[in-house]
Amino acid sequence: MIGIIGAMEIEVMQLVKAMADTSQEKISGITYFLGRLNSSAVVIAKCGVGKVNAAVCAQTMILKYAPEMMINIGVAGSLSPAVSIGEIVLGDYAVQYDFDTSALGDPVGLTPEVNLVKMPCADNVLQLLQKAAARLMQIKCHVGTVATGDQFLNAPDLKKKLASDFSAIACEMEGASICQVCLLNGVPFGLVRAISDNADDDSDVDFNTFMRMAAAQSTALLLALMEELN
């Protein structure tokens, strides 16, 4: 079984509508949709925005449904001039940029228990996602570090800092927390982000303008992944 998590309804409901043999179960306020995409068994959930919601959803999904791999999909802001609105970022690493115990001598972003700043996504899942992306000839795809924090980013100075400090190319609000949960549980993890804005002064306007288009891009990639698996 493949676990799929998105923060917002727009990020997951097209996948849910494409499922067959669907059932659902609600746990801790989160609805989990079980069924099949093509011939692959999947469980899909809308976790809600932010790191805590994402972690609660991921841990529940692992304990309840035992997915063989987990993929977090959704939209993100670009941190790189090379990554444009409408393109896709596949995470090879994820970092919690707002986790800060530097006053104790730790590097900013060091995540306890896993004891890493840049947490790795699973190579085998990344390779599958890259193969799926190759099916979508019209969508440009990038691989790089994704920065996660509990903030909708529209601050050019912080954008530059995240790109400089972590070599991150995209920012969002859930991915690294799900990555941490998956590392602690030994579940292979993949991170997919479609770019909806540039994390700058215009990001709120761009997000509302391009969110649906970006969400459709990540949905298309997941459907291509199901074809790749089959």
Q: Which residues are catalytic?
A: 11, 197
Of 225, 184, 187, 173, the closest CA to residue 38 belongs to: 225
Identity of the amino acid at 2: I
What is the rounded distance in angstroms from the CA atom of residue 87 to the CA atom of residue 101?
34
The pair of three-digit structure tokens given for residue 55, joined into one six-digit string? 């972690």
Q: How far, in Å, are 84, 175, 223 from residue 205 at the CA level?
A: 15, 23, 28
Q: Is the dihedral of CA 85, 91, 97, 99 positive or negative?
A: positive
What is the rounded distance in angstroms from the CA atom of residue 106 to the CA atom of residue 104?
6
